[in-house]
Structure 1
Amino acid sequence: MNTDKKGDSVRKVFLSILLVPILTLIVACTAEEDVGTQEADGRTAPKNTGDNEEELANPSEVSNEPNNVEPNQDNKKTSEFGKLTIESEQQDVNDTYETGPIHLTIQSLQVASLEPEEEYKQQFNGRESLTMVTVQMEVENTSEDPIRIDPSQGVLVTNTNKPLDAKPALSDDVGGDFNGQTTKEGEVYFILDTKLGLSADIGQDVSGQVTEKGEVYFAIDSLADNMKSGTLIIDAPHSGENYSDVGEELYIDINFQ
């Protein structure tokens, strides 16, 4: 009887020894299967080892700006006359001046350096660069009678003490004869040569009985940039019938800044 019990105990121990590695193998296989399933479902994030820090950077922190940023070109424009570098500009000025039956409204102002196109250089005496002041205006004859006034032949004297003559050939038709109750609107251009360089040799060691001719260029350093104010002078309007004055000469103070 005792021999049978001992045999049973030995068999149980032997079976237990055999079952332990089998159960261990089953548990290990089950764990590997669960990990593989989690990775397939996307539930396990890859471990950051430090080698892929740049790849894991926050996209919002990545700049999309180009390496070479172009400078501001807002003051560079092209007109029918050539390339403009705008130094100052005022929109919606809308200041009105009266002389006799004439109401003249300054609508906008612009000061710019101009590099004329080849086809226009003759209009500017062949100059390579110059200062152009553009005055947008509206001129109204409030009377029933014909009146004549010529804003496009005015003179602009600036704080630089350089007079700028209007260019009627380039300006819009805002002057001349006005029939009764007539309004004209457009741009008037005032030009000042800004050529830099050496003057012709007309001032050194001039001996007797010698005549020298040439042009003198005054070096104007960024004249357009220094132009801050001025006075626009326009001749008085006169009757279109008997040419008598019907108002006063206009002196219009202008601020470019």
Structure 2
Amino acid sequence: MSVINLKGKKALITGGSQGIGAEICRELASCGADIFINYNNNKEKAEQLALQIKDQYQVKVFSGKADVANAKEVQEMFQFMDEHLGSIDILINNAGTETCHHILDLDEEEWDRVNDVNLKGAFLCAQQAGRRMEKKGGGVIINITSIHDTVPRKGFTHYCVAKSGLKMFTKSLALELAEQNIRVLSVAPGAIETEMNRKEIANFGVEKFNNWIPQGRIGTVKDVSPTVAFLCSDLASYITGTEIYIDGGYMQSTIQYDPRLTRKTE
């Protein structure tokens, strides 16, 4: 059992079937939380993860399909969670998507799709969760953003705009819900290797990333999940409206031609 105690808490993780979301599911379960794994396309992965978590941590685990950008499906997902877990204490808005297009070639449908999943989905889920948390006297909402909510990236204007909007949504929501004892935070990962991007990273060049990141390595999902668990816990009870960047210093190293200096030895 983790030193962080979430025993008895009910957590919904959107996009929880793989990558960062799946590791957050494992981490929160290891702290004692009951878990609802949301997925849109990866039913098999979600069900396998649910079985693994149940066997390893002996907590309640359910999985369910919902497109977070669809209000009706989101409402039905929360109703299902009401019936099977009884309440919600923690919402992790992790579901997201990205594609690469030159802005002059980007069509309206793709702009809308990326913004709907990354931003509208967080709004719809936060609204449903917030209403329930208000009735029970509090809760925690964590939005998984990105370093690209601040750092622009060519070909990803629609994604960067959505994540930037999610950053301000976090701050605004924290302000609005503070009196209801609902804390709202965001966690912004940098370059994190997952099963989804491992091949792409390898093709691009792992060493390039390692040379660019001040800590000298690409991050892993396990670099992200413990921070999320901490923020969900009572240890962080006076933290709200805050964003934490988990990037090994990547954001501080935008001048890629700076040398990696060698320390002098005596």
TM-score range for the pair, normalised by the shorter chain length? under 0.3
User: Which has the bigger relative contact order, CA under 8 A and spacing at least 6?
Assistant: 2
Which of the pair has more CA radius of gyration?
1
TM-score, with normalisation over the residues of structure 2?
0.21
Instruction: Choose between structure 1 and 2: higher helix proportion.
Output: 2
TM-score of the superposed pair, with normalisation by structure 1: 0.21
Pick the structure with more strand per residue: 1
